[in-house]
Structure 1
Amino acid sequence: MTLGAVILDPGDSVLCLLRAHQAGEAPMTASGAGPTLTADTPLGHKIARRAIAAGDVVTKYGVPIGRATKDIAEGDHVHLHNLRGFLEAGETS
């Protein structure tokens, strides 16, 4: 098994890709296959482990990193187009 993604903390809402993946792939993690990607996603970027509603907090490293600016489906690329950091929004978390 070749790992394609890593979950940094069990409570994280995202996983991080260890290589670029194409839409339709399900990257392997230490605990098995991750969600199927809905779009091509570059190395090092995040994808949603589960559905995240607009306004929900997104967690990585076991800590909140921002809020979803729109609904994010499981397997969606999570980045600047659908995530706002707390400082950017004037929040502290």
Structure 2
Amino acid sequence: MTIREICLLILVLGITLLFGIIKIHNPDVSFESSDGHWGDSEVQFKGRDYSLIEEGFRRYKLQCNASDVYLVRNTEKNWINVLAWPNYLSHEK
């Protein structure tokens, strides 16, 4: 291997690791309505965060006159993922 190939490999591994760390510390979460007729998911790297999920859920409740339903988190918290702990503790989702 040449030095150029080694540098390229290190760069690719570094970018892959960085993406993994970003994803791991702020995991995507899936939600649905308590009646099971609505659902949505976060996709952090596309900018789909919890506030957009809440907004969509509010629209669903108004459009379907479903005032008695509530938002349910489908994705379990992975307490083994130490990097996600701050996210779990500081966000209402």
Q: Identify the TM-score tier after normalising by the shorter chain.
A: under 0.3
Choose 1 or 2 for highest CA Rg.
Answer: 2
| Larger proportion of helix | 2
Structure 2 length-normalised TM = 0.21
Structure 1 length-normalised TM = 0.21
| Larger proportion of strand | 1
